[in-house]
């Protein structure tokens, strides 16, 4: 099962003096410690390389794909559409996820906590490598400029716990009630949320700029 951290007192025998209850709730910080972006360009002779990226450290990301409230991670086979996770069995006691089945239902107890991830990441949004053909060569061909380039959009994600777990892009523009299979409460409405909406795609572009 999912273990909840007990924050109360203990008696002389080392046993808790009360059952786990609302007093053990903790406030999670949704805001990152810092975030920013990068934009750099380097050139050598006719070649140039442009890189645009974004990064975030800390904060909270909620994934409705992994939290049990979205019905994609309730750890039973009946739905036929659960995400594949490393769940507990008697032979796999070091698993990250609890054993299938809940208490009085399908969802594991405290299953919503499975959707919370560290929102940290470093992402390259665009990377463009270009080459400008020498003007002497262009003059013989009757051209003014000729540039060929290759662009990769969203090619890399690094240092992201969510990307390591799911393979998905951790950057999202959605909040709690915008794409959840089950709408989140008003208290969770401002959490950055990844759900069943279309994730960022990886694109490759080859282009030519030519003037006469």
53-107 pLDDT, tens digit each: 999 999 988 888 888 766 677 776 666 667 888 888 899 999 988 888 766 566 7
| 124, 151 Cβ separation under 8 angstroms | no
Alpha carbons 205 and 73: distance in angstroms, whole number: 36
Q: Pick the residue with more confidence: 135 or 42?
A: 42
Q: Given its phi and psi angles, is residue 167 left (phi above 0), alpha (psi -120 to 50 degrees) or beta? A: left
From first CA to last CA, the distance across the chain in angstroms is: 70
Mean pLDDT across the stretch 110-129?
92
pLDDT value at residue 71:
65
What distance in Å separates the CA atoms of residue 105 and residue 115, rounded to the nearest whole number? 19
> Which parts of the chain fold into alpha helices (H)?
135-141, 161-166
DSSP-derived letter for residue 22 is G
pLDDT tier, 3 (very low <50, low <70, confident <90, very high otherwise) = confident
pLDDT tens for residues 27-61?
A: 878 889 999 999 999 999 999 999 999 999 999 88
Do the bridges between strand 47-57 and strand 34-44 make them parallel or antiparallel, or are there none, so unpaired?
antiparallel
């Amino acid at each position: 099962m999912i273990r909840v951290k007990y924050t109360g007192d203990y008696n002389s025998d080392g046993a808790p003096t009360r059952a786990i209850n609302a007093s053990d709730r903790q406030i999670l910080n949704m805001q990152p410690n810092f975030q920013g972006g990068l934009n750099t360009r380097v050139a050598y002779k006719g070649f140039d390389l442009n890189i645009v990226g974004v990064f975030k450290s800390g904060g909270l990301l909620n994934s409705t794909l992994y939290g049990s409230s979205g019905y994609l991670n309730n750890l039973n086979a009946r739905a036929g559409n659960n995400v594949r996770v490393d769940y507990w069995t008697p032979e796999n006691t070091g698993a990250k996820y609890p054993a299938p089945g809940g208490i009085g239902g399908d969802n594991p107890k405290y299953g919503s906590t499975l959707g919370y991830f560290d929102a940290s990441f470093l992402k390259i949004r665009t990377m463009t490598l270009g080459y400008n053909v020498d003007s002497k060569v262009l003059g013989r061909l009757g051209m003014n400029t000729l540039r060929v380039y290759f662009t990769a959009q969203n090619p890399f994600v690094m240092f992201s716990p969510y990307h390591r777990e799911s393979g998905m892009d951790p950057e999202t523009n959605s909040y709690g009630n915008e794409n959840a299979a089950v709408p989140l409460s008003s208290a969770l409405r401002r959490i950055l949320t990844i759900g069943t909406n279309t994730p960022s795609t990886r694109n490759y572009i080859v282009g030519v700029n030519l003037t006469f």
